[in-house]
Structure 1
């Protein structure tokens, strides 16, 4: 490596490296490179054939140039008509308008639940039983009052009969 530090040593080192690369390519069977540009010959052939095809298939289009030659006048592209900016802006504004979301969303589902909704849900069965008992108790009280009124009515009728029989 000490010899590589001198200018002549660098050149020798480069030559050795080229020889090693050449030997490696020969062992692996890689395509040979062209000495002129250093690119493989296969790639150069492909590029040449592609260029020839491109030249054959290219058609001359004249957009900004008006030729004086009659043969080229048929290749002039007619001037493009600019699109109306107002129409494009209107289309973009219409596309940007949001669709009404209120129709799609049920507002009842969006309303927040009360903080005690789960307690009410858990107590609902017990409340049903208590409601039935309450109704029975109210009915019993009404029956008792009616019995009391019947007794007082019966006693009033009896007292009226007694008063009436005394006056006869």
Structure 2
């Protein structure tokens, strides 16, 4: 019989240990549940409440969050002030015409081309001088005779 008593005692001890283990595991779950509930409540407090400006909710719970309709304010005084401010005449004593007059549309083209035009002008003068020399050589007239002929004509004119 001793064996039977010892077995029942061991069964009771085992039941107590299991119960203690269940209680031990169950307690943190309750703490976790409590933490979850507190976090949930904090989250609800942190979340913004919806405000309905142009929407009229059908639910009674949401009607507390809706805003009252606002009538637009009268802006005629503000507009009149702005119009009056625009009507004032500003008198300027000095006017710089160089700043007011627009530049010619091609002023930048002339500025960029001016250097090239100077080179072309020099080349043109040289080419004209060469052409004159070639004509004189082609006519086989002596340069001195041509100069003398012009000089003779001047003397005749001077005698008059």
- Provide TM-score, normalisation by structure 2: 0.28
Whose RCO is larger (CA < 8 A, sep 6+)?
Answer: 2
